[in-house]
Amino acid sequence: MLFILFFLTAAATGLTALAQQTNQETNIHQLYLQDQSDRGVGGKAVAHWQDLAKRDNARRDRVRELMASGALKSARDFHDAAFIFQHSVQTNEYPLTATANDYLLAHVLANVAVAKGDATSLWISAASLDRYLQSIGQAEVFGTQYQSKDEQPTTQEPYNRTLVPDALRLVFCVPPLKQQLSNAADFNSGKYPAGILPTGCQR
């Protein structure tokens, strides 16, 4: 009788732990899906950037809680968290120093995902490094950042094109320089570039 009670208690404890783990995984992935949906991927994009920034801030706060509690476990968890921090935006209430730290944290999270076996996180590793470098006034090195301000042509500047060779860019699922020029031209013509990622790459 005691053995049966012990077995049932252990089984119940195991199911509770499994449910908590599943909820945590769903939680971080739901935050990622919300992040993507707010940008028009699989949903309707948020119309005003101020509203988007508020939603992004709330998501990052929740991810910080999950990180502090040790809830991020899988490569996918860290991949999703990296994208959420990559989308930090400077506002009057959220200074550039804070966004720079978010980009650097996104880079760290992406590297954890890669270390856990997720090759699709190679791109976000490169992109978060580029975004961090530009946020502290340095040149990006992979060429993942395309920007256009005040209806000016799309630019990747500042950009150090000589530090990372094209062969290494491809390892990180970043297209070579020639394709990047074509991508910028597509952006300037109002099209989303088909070559934003090399063939066979995902992010």
- List the structure tokens of 183: 């991508």
How much is the mean pLDDT over the chain?
Answer: 89
Lowest mean pLDDT among 45-59, 97-111, 135-149, 186-200: 45-59
Is residue 108's pLDDT more than 50? yes
- List the structure tokens of 152: 């000016």
- The answer to whether the beta carbons of residues 77 and 25 sit under 8 Å apart is yes
Amino acid at 121: S
Residue 198 preceded by cis peptide, ω within 30 = no
pLDDT of residue 45: 81
Closest CA to 141 of 92, 103, 174, 102: 174
pLDDT of residue 14: 45
Residues 86-111 have a mean pLDDT of 95
Other C-beta atoms closer than 10 Å to the C-beta of 162 total 8
Confidence tier at 1 by pLDDT (50, 70, 90): low
- The answer to whether the beta carbons of residues 145 and 131 sit under 8 Å apart is yes
Closest CA to 143 of 130, 162, 124: 130
pTM of the model: 0.84
Lowest mean pLDDT among 22-31, 78-87, 131-140: 22-31
